[in-house]
Structures are given as C-alpha cells and as structure tokens.
Structure 1
C-alpha cells in the first residue's frame, strides 16, 4: 500500500501531494513549449513535423501489419 502525503495549501486546505506535483510538471512543460516556440520557431516546426512523421509512419506500419494478417 502506498501512503499518500497530504499537504496544506493556503487556498485549498488539504490536498493530495501527487496532484500538486502533476500540476507543476504540466505548467513547466507548457511553459517550456511556449518558450521554445517563441525563441526557436523553425526548430519547433521541425520538431512538430518529426512527431507527425513518426505517427504517420507508425500508422502505415500498422496498416501493413493488419493487411498481411488479414490476407
């Protein structure tokens, strides 16, 4: 059994600590993406294209797999 740590926050009273950590990590990640987007837009566009190319390649490989399995 994992013990849950409860911490006191001024506005919300008692709150689960892991939820706060998740919020902080989410805010930091969003801030990093926005910073990266505005400071290096060409590299950010290249990264987005790379992600979409990877997703497309994975989908194509899945289609090939199911085509071979079903024929």
Structure 2
C-alpha cells in the first residue's frame, strides 16, 4: 500500500508538470482563481472576527 501511495504522488507530480508545460496560460488561470478564492475567504473571516469584537 505504501508503494501505491508513492507511485500516486509521482503520477500526480508528473501530471502537474505536464499541465504546466503544455498549457501555461490555463495553469496560471487556475492558480489565479484558487488564490482569489482563498483571499476572498480570508477577507470574509476577517470581517466576521471584527464584527464579533465590535
């Protein structure tokens, strides 16, 4: 089972590298969208915590 997990990690890394090399614009869009979502979530959490203190 440990070998299967190890191979899975290698396959995932190879897929990500292939995706980045063959479609860099699309990969950048995915990263940009993901980071935008994280930033929106952090901002919402910040507003919530500030509202608790007010």
Q: If the length of structure 1 is used for normalisation, what is the TM-score?
A: 0.70
Can you give the 5+ residue segments of structure 2 that lack an aligned partner in the other structure?
A: none
**How far apart are 1:39 and its partner, in Å?**
0.5
1: CA distance, partners of 2:53 / 2:6:
44
Bigger proportion of residues as strand: 1
Moved more, 21-30 or 58-67: 21-30
| Off by >4 Å, runs of 4+ in structure 1 | none
Matches within 5 A, 1:1-71: 17=1, 19-71=2-54
Q: CA RMSD in A?
A: 0.9
Q: If the length of structure 2 is used for normalisation, what is the TM-score?
A: 0.89
User: Bigger radius of gyration, 1 or 2?
Assistant: 1
Bigger proportion of residues as helix: 2
